[in-house]
A and B are shown apart, each in its own frame.
Chain A
Amino acid sequence: MAKITISNLRHSYLPRPGTDDDYALRDIDLEWDDGGAYALLGPSGCGKTTLLNIISGLITPSQGAVLFNNEDVAGVPPDQRNIAQVFQFPVVYDTMTVYDNLAFPLRNRGVSENEVRRRVMEIAAMTELDGMLQKRAFRLTADGKQKISLGRGLVRPDVNVIMFDEPLTVIDLHLKWQLRSKLKELHQRTNTTMIYVTHDQTEALTFADRVVVMHEGQIVQIGTPAELFEQPQHKFVGHFIGSPGMNILPATLENAVPQFAGHRIAVANQPSAAGRLDGKCLEIGVRPEFVALVDDGIPAKILKVSDAGRYRIVRADCLGTQINLLIDDGVQLPQEQEHVQVDFDPLQTRLYADGWLVR
């Protein structure tokens, strides 16, 4: 097991990269503690798979270093990095039994059959494969096969890290539950460093103690699930996490007080001096959960009410900007096209400059 450090990393797939746009990854600095559960979260194309491939050694970065336990692994080939990977689609030896599949990484390293048996039985019990060890792998369902992939990752006591790349994509909705809780339980029992790559916020927030959110090749925030929801450091985080995402409204400053369409907006991060924000694109971010209907506030017109069962998503035109509100089931709601007034919770409303949270 290992602590993983990534320092000053950049990568471009182009031979002679020029501008920042030519880079698939830029300015990546990360430190992952030994035994932690981490997630890399972002939309497709954000660079998360590139980063994964750099850690595993499949790609050599254009610049920067990857360190395992403070040692630079540049030049160490993938098979000597002691990394286990679980991919989107289960990779199993179809004609081998479940037992032989699990034993494979150990036998490859010349581990004695007694030790192989001990480890395989232990891992099989953890992954609930113990009832089917003599079955051929092709007889298993998709989730069973994915458990084999997972078990193979866990079976070696010497892995530095287990990396999961969208491991639940092929799993049925109602089985995803079970595998997610299994993964979490396995992490708590084995304390192996685990990195989970996904575009799905539920999977990332459920699995990880700390989540790395990526956007256009950059890290936009590293935080606990609560930090990502409550204090997005970048408007992309506000948009990407939560459903619907954070409302973004154009803003200006008047005597250092944020304004939206002529209304003063109280924010949690009131800037002390306005000067340094000159020339930047200012926006106000507030999540739909923190917008309320009030008697005396900013005028808005209801455009659409969508019934999500336990809550309603209300879309409204607020002085030219479309916003969403979440209103609990059972609360009396205005009709579509009706004029209302809204208010933003000042503790949960923030000012952003060029996309980043103003400090």
Chain B
Amino acid sequence: MTLELRNVTKCVGAETHIHETSLTLMDHGFNILLGTTLSGKTTLMQLMAGLEQPTTGEVWFKGRNVTGVPVQKRNVAMVYQQFINYANFSVFENIASPLRVARLGSAEVAARVNEIADLLQLTPMLQRRPSELSGGQQQRTALARALVKDSGLVLLDEPLANLDFKLREELREQLPKLFADRACTVVYATTEPIEALLLGGHTAALHEGRVTQFGATCDIYRRPLDLLTAQVFSETPINTAEVRKSGDKVTLTSDIEWNVSGAQAQLPDGTYRIGIRPHHISPFASSQDRTEIRGKVIIAELSGSESTIRFSHQSLNWVSLSKGLHSFLLGEETAFYMSAGRCMYFNGDGKRVA
């Protein structure tokens, strides 16, 4: 028994913010809403929480129609991107606030606050004010407040976005553990595919107010049903281009073609759109299935142990992602090698066909 959106839409004036959406969330693990800014993540969460009412359709929770039930009566907890805490309360009182509202006895309050503070490593800071804490500690305080009251539905709206890179890495690892033993539905909004992947669970890919696909996170990443989902679920933009398929030959540009086999060879001859992830294009040739593309380097981005290189070739404006740190001069010409067998093929409607 969990949260269900049934044919929900949300319009504001003449604008449609959420197109008709039906979604049954999972009651274990994370339900991730993945999409860019303005794709509708926050609006969907507000509909789930009851902060906004749908224009049409219904929201069900644990087998009950809760459409129109205000947020105060829904036992929902939310954590936002901005660290929201009561500035004049101690960390202890911040965490305790939902329990005070629920008029719990002080012994019970202390026990529950201490337990959750311990879990989130906030015990030494309980008597401090939020302003005396680091960003990570402030956000952990907000998380503790959301967790302390045993809500049936916890909504996390990009909770790590304002944190330092390393803190994000740390909290990302802790979060699923925090919820592992709790009987609540967790919804987590993010713009970052890598975050969705590492949190696991299920993912709804969002694009311009539509859920393009919902399913197990790694399935959606590996087997997108359409081009939009593949694009939403690409850490670095997925490379796309129009190709011509004829027999077992695929032509990309006047000077690049490759042979296809299996399901890809079975496609009727014609024009397709391909999508190929950046890590299937490398500045180094390896043994298998390599199609060469001469590229002009636009920029080489380095991150830890990987290089992301943007390059152009004729009308292509593509990205390669490879292990190791490779510096290139802007404008330098170099060869890139593509694993053409890794291409996904989409038809004119953007549906995946092979």
A residues sitting closer than 8 Å to B (CB atoms) are 43-45, 172-174, 177, 180-181, 184-185, 188, 199-202, 205-206, 225-226, 229, 239-245, 287, 289, 306-310, 313
Contacts and interface: CB of A to CB of B under 8 A. Distances in A.
B338 to A, nearest CB: 15
Contact of B325 (A172, A181, A229, A310): A229
A201 B304 CA distance: 7
A181 B298 contact: yes
B279 interface: yes
B205 to A, nearest CB: 14
A44 B305 contact: no
A173 B304 contact: no
**B contact face: mostly helix, strand, loop, or mixed:** mixed
Contacts of B194: 308-309
Nearest to A182: B299
20 contacts: A44-B134, A44-B135, A44-B164, A180-B301, A181-B299, A181-B330, A184-B330, A201-B304, A202-B301, A202-B303, A205-B304, A205-B325, A226-B325, A229-B304, A240-B166, A241-B304, A306-B200, A307-B218, A309-B197, A309-B222
Contacts of B302: 202, 205-206, 225
Interface of B: 36-37, 134-135, 164-167, 169, 191-194, 197-198, 200, 217-218, 221-222, 235, 237, 277, 279, 298-305, 310, 321, 323, 325, 327, 330
Nearest to B135: A44
B197 A307 contact: yes
B35 to A, nearest CB: 11
A288 B167 CA distance: 18
Q: Which of B36, B304, B330 has the most CB of A within 10 A?
A: B304
Contacts of A306: 197-198, 200
Nearest 7 A/B pairs, CB to CB: A181-B299, A242-B304, A202-B303, A205-B302, A206-B301, A310-B279, A226-B325
Q: Which of B200, B277, B301, B321 has the most CB of A within 10 A?
A: B301
Contacts of B301: 177, 180, 202, 205-206
A206 B134 contact: no
B218 A200 contact: no
B284 to A, nearest CB: 15
Contacts of A181: 298-299, 310, 330
B303 A206 contact: yes
Contacts of A242: 304-305
A45 B304 CA distance: 21
Nearest to B304: A242
Contacts of B330: 181, 184-185, 188
B325 A244 contact: no
Contact of A289 (B37, B192, B298, B305): B305
Contacts of A309: 193-194, 197, 218, 221-222, 235
Contact of B165 (A174, A180, A188, A200): A200
Q: Which of B217, B302, B321 has the most CB of A within 10 A?
A: B302
Contact of A308 (B36, B198, B237, B304): B198
Contact of A43 (B164, B197, B237): B164
Contacts of A173: 36, 191-192
A52 to B, nearest CB: 17
B165 A201 contact: yes
Contacts of A201: 165, 303-304
Contacts of B222: 309
A226 B191 CA distance: 29
A177 to B, nearest CB: 8
Contact of B169 (A174, A199, A244): A244
A17 to B, nearest CB: 21
A128 to B, nearest CB: 14
Contacts of A185: 299, 330
A186 B193 CA distance: 30
A204 to B, nearest CB: 9
